[in-house]
């Protein structure tokens, strides 16, 4: 994950860079609003940590320009301004979160993780269907909060079913899209892998539609147990 920190106070900047990099993030930094706006246009910026008290542009102006040009990257504002009116202005200009100085670094980390998680869900990088949560980026799946290990092919098959929730997918379609193979009436590879997934995720996770194929199940780990998102 790539973060951009826009902060002009050298001590705070050093503290943020050290802590965020230690937590595994790739971090770019800028010390002025104009520099921050330019760097925010780089590909792959996942989140911006933005100080309001910058030497050239006010942070709210940086926010306004970001949003005006259609940049929807999550922004967490850092500021020593404690007035409610200042917070409201920042949020109205498009900030996703607001943290007053001084702050606990662990709280900032928690807010960063939450915003990135919500962004991934909105972009379809985390698929939620019933009690299932499939993370396309990390290639992990959870069942009722419990992580289950899948092989690469099992993961691809489950992703296909979750992205087409409610639809019946034929063996021919699955063989073509997941394995890249022409349909072979004598092949039972799809059925075998469906069996693997049922044993790992629950027998009700995948439903057989006789004579048609498979679809995501409707039991406790399937579509009718919780709301379906995104």
User: pLDDT tens digits for the chain (230 residues)?
Assistant: 789 999 999 999 999 999 999 988 889 999 999 999 999 887 678 899 999 889 998 888 998 898 888 888 899 988 876 555 566 666 667 788 888 888 889 999 998 988 887 776 666 677 888 888 888 878 889 888 788 999 989 999 999 999 888 889 999 889 888 887 665 667 789 999 999 999 999 998 999 999 999 999 865 555 543 333 33
Domains along the sequence of the chain with CATH: 2-122 (3.40.50.2300), 126-216 (1.10.10.10)
Question: Do residues 29 and 6 touch, judged by C-beta distance below 8 A?
Answer: yes
Q: Which pLDDT value is given to residue 227?
A: 34
pTM (two decimals): 0.55
Q: Which pLDDT value is given to residue 87?
A: 61
Give the pairing type, strands 140-143 and 132-135.
antiparallel
CA distance 53 to 229: 38
Instruction: Return the residue matching tokens 């629950």.
Output: 202
CA distance 68 to 63: 8
Question: Do residues 35 and 81 touch, judged by C-beta distance below 8 A?
Answer: no
Question: Do residues 125 and 141 touch, judged by C-beta distance below 8 A?
Answer: no
Q: Which pLDDT value is given to residue 58?
A: 84
CA distance 159 to 95: 32
Q: Which pLDDT value is given to residue 226?
A: 37
* H or E stretch at 127: strand 126-129
Angle between helices 10-22 and 105-122 (to 10 degrees): 60
Q: Which pLDDT value is given to residue 73?
A: 87
Q: Which pLDDT value is given to residue 230?
A: 34
Helix (H, G, I), strand (E, B) or coil at 29: strand
């Amino acid at each position: 994950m790539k973060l951009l920190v826009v902060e002009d106070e050298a001590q705070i900047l050093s503290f943020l860079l050290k802590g965020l990099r230690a937590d595994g993030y790739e971090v770019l930094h800028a010390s002025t609003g104009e520099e921050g706006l330019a760097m925010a246009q780089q590909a792959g910026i996942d989140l911006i940590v933005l100080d309001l008290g910058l030497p050239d542009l006010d942070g709210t102006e940086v926010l306004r320009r970001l949003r005006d040009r259609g940049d929807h990257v999550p922004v967490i504002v850092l500021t020593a301004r404690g007035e409610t009116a200042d917070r409201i202005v920042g949020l109205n200009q498009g900030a996703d979160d607001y943290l007053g100085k001084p702050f606990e670094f662990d709280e900032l980390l928690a807010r960063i993780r939450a915003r990135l998680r919500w962004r991934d869900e909105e972009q379809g990088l985390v698929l939620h269907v019933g009690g299932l949560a499939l993370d396309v980026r990390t290639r992990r799946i959870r069942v009722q909060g419990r992580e289950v290990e899948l092989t690469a092919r099992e993961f691809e098959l489950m992703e296909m079913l979750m992205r087409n929730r409610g639809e019946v997918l034929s063996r021919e379609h699955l063989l073509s899209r997941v394995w890249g193979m022409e349909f072979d009436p004598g092949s039972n590879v799809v059925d075998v892998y469906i069996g693997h997934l049922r044993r790992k995720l629950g027998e009700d996770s995948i439903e057989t539609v006789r004579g048609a194929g498979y679809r995501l199940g409707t039991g406790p780990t399937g579509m009718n147990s919780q709301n379906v998102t995104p």
